[in-house]
Structure 1
Amino acid sequence: MAPPEEKSIVLEESVACEPQNRPISSIVIIIAMQSEALPLVNKFQLKEDLDPVFPKGVPWVRYRGTYKGLNINIIWPGKDTVLGVDSVGTIVASLVTYASIQALQPDLIINAGTAGGFKAKGANVGDIFLASGVAFHDRRIPIPVFDLYGVGLRQAFSTPNLLKALNIKVGKLSTGDSLDMSPQDEASIIANDATIKDMEGAAVGYVADLLKVPAIFVKAVTDIVDGEKPTAEEFMQNLAAVTAALDQAVTEVVDFLNGKCLSEL
C-alpha cells in the first residue's frame, strides 16, 4: 500500500489529467457547405491535408493548422461525387463526424453552419444561435419508446461562460433532411420547442454523444421558416451575408476557447 503522501500525489495527478481540466488543444469544426468553410479556412490560415486520414474515395476534405496554440481541423464533406453539389444532410454528417473523431481524437467538436429560424420564437435573419439541445423532426416512429428514439433529443455541451462573453442567442435546434417544411415536420418542430432548424446538427450530436466527445452548435439564421418568403429563395438571397456573420461568430468562439479547459466554458 502506498504511503498517504504518495496517494495524495497520485490523486492530484489523476484530477489534473481529467479532460475537463486540461486546456483544450484540438478541435474539429464540421461545416456542410464550402461557402461556409472557406472563409474560416482563410481566417485560421489552414491548409488542405494532402495525406488524408479518411477512407480512399470519399470526397471529404480536411483543412488543418494551428491558430493561437489550438490545433484546428475544419472538415467539409466535399462535393457529391455524382451531382457535384455540397454533401449536405444527416447521413454524410454522421459519417464525417464518426470518421473525424476516430482519426483525430478532438477535445471538442463545433458544428457550424446556417439554419432556418422561427420568428415566433424570436429569430431574425443574421442572428447567431448556440444550440442548447438538438433533436430530429423527420424520424416519426409512432410506437412507445421508439418515438423518443426517433426524436433523439440530446443536450449540447454546457457553455455558460461562453454565452456570457459573446453576443449569441440560445435556442433549441431541430434537424431534418429536407430544406422545406411539411405539416408533419412543422408539428414535430413545434413539439421539439425549436427556434432553429438545419440538416446536420442532431446527426453530429448523436455521434458525438455516442463517442463521448463534447459538441457545441453555432448556427446563423439565413431564412425565416414561418415568414412570408419562400425558404429556398430567402436562403440563397441571404447566404453570403449570413455566412460572413457565421464566420465572425465562429472566430470569436475559437478565440474564447484558446487556453481554456472544457470546465471553463
Structure 2
Amino acid sequence: MVSPTDTSDVIVTADAMLGSKSIATIVIIIAMQKEALPLVTAFKLSKDIDSSFPDGVPWVWYHGMYKDLNINILCPRKDPVFGVDSVGTVSASLLTYASVQALKPDLIINAGTAGGFKAKGANICDCYIASGVAFHDRRNPIPAAKQYGIGLQKSFATPNLISDLNLKVGKLSTGDSLDMSEQDYVSISANDAVIKDMEAFICWERR
C-alpha cells in the first residue's frame, strides 16, 4: 500500500489508514500461475468455475476461506495467442481493476518474484517488502510529465509485518521489460531501487 502523498515526511502506517475497519476480504495479484500454486495449496483454495469476470479473459481465480479471511488469488494466466505468461503492467492493471470491482477487497497484495541488486544488499531467495515504488521505463521529457512518469511514492509502514516475517525492506522499481537497458539502469539507480519487477506499481497508482 502507498501513502496519499510522496512528499510528506510523516510515516503513515497501514493500521492508521485502516482505522477500526477489519480486514475480511483479501485479493492477492500474482503475475504467474506457477508462483501462485504454493499459496493455493497452502490455503486449500478452489479454482473458480463460474467466473465473475468478463467472458473470454484468460484470468484465473482461486478462492476460499482461511480462518475468518476470504482469500482470493488472481493471475493473468497464459496469453491465448502466444501461450506465455501475461506479465507486465497492462495485464496486471486490468486484472486488479476488475478484481476491485467484482470482489470489493479490503486489502490488495501484489506478490511474486523480482530481480534484486547485489550491490544494494539483495541476494537470491531474499524476501522483500517495498518501502516505495516508482517506474523506470515510463519516460516523458516534458517537465511536469517527467515526475508523473516516474511516479515515485512511499509505501505505508508495516513494522509488525516486517518484524514477524523477518522481511528485508527496499525501494522497488517497475518496468514492462524483463531485460534492463542502459537507460533503465540509469533510471533504476536514480530511483534508488533495491528490487526490480514488472507489475507491482499498479497496486500503488494514485486514486
The 3-state SS of whatever aligns with 1:173 is strand
Q: Percent identity?
A: 66
1:75-128 CA distance string (max 9 Å, x none): 011110101111100100111111111111111111001000001110001100
Alignment match, 1:36 = 35
C-alpha distance in 2, partners of 1:51/1:21? Answer: 34
What does 1:55-94 align with in structure 2 at a 5 Å threshold? 55-94=54-93
Q: RMSD value over aligned CA atoms?
A: 1.2
- The answer to which of 159-168 and 189-198 deviates more is 159-168
C-alpha distance in 1, partners of 2:200/2:40? Answer: 21
Letter in 2 for 1:103: A
Q: CA deviation at 1:204?
A: 2.5
C-alpha distance in 1, partners of 2:78/2:112? Answer: 16
Alignment match, 1:5 = none
What does 1:153-192 align with in structure 2 at a 5 Å threshold? 153-192=152-191
Structure 1 residues 157 and 101, CA gap change in structure 2 (3 angstroms)? farther
C-alpha distance in 2, partners of 1:88/1:194? Answer: 20
C-alpha distance in 2, partners of 1:79/1:154? Answer: 30
C-alpha distance in 2, partners of 1:119/1:197? Answer: 12
What does 1:183-202 align with in structure 2 at a 5 Å threshold? 183-202=182-201
1:139-169 CA distance string (max 9 Å, x none): 1111111001101122223212111222100
Alignment match, 1:222 = none
Q: CA deviation at 1:19?
A: 4.4
Letter in 2 for 1:118: F
What does 1:9-158 align with in structure 2 at a 5 Å threshold? 19-158=18-157
What does 1:248-263 align with in structure 2 at a 5 Å threshold? none
C-alpha distance in 1, partners of 2:157/2:59? Answer: 29
1:23-64 CA distance string (max 9 Å, x none): 211100000011101111111000011111111110011111
C-alpha distance in 1, partners of 2:190/2:70? Answer: 38
Structure 1 residues 116 and 54, CA gap change in structure 2 (3 angstroms)? same
Deviant stretches of 4+, over 3 Å: none
C-alpha distance in 1, partners of 2:167/2:121? Answer: 13
Q: CA deviation at 1:130?
A: 0.3
C-alpha distance in 2, partners of 1:179/1:37? Answer: 19
Instruction: Point out where structure 2 has 5 or more consecutive residues left out of the alignment.
Output: 1-16
1:194-238 CA distance string (max 9 Å, x none): 0000000112221xx42xxxxxxxxxxxxxxxxxxxxxxxxxxxx
Letter in 1 for 2:172: L
- Greater helix share, structure number: 1
C-alpha distance in 2, partners of 1:111/1:148? Answer: 23
The 3-state SS of whatever aligns with 1:148 is helix
C-alpha distance in 2, partners of 1:67/1:159? Answer: 22
Structure 1 residues 103 and 157, CA gap change in structure 2 (3 angstroms)? farther
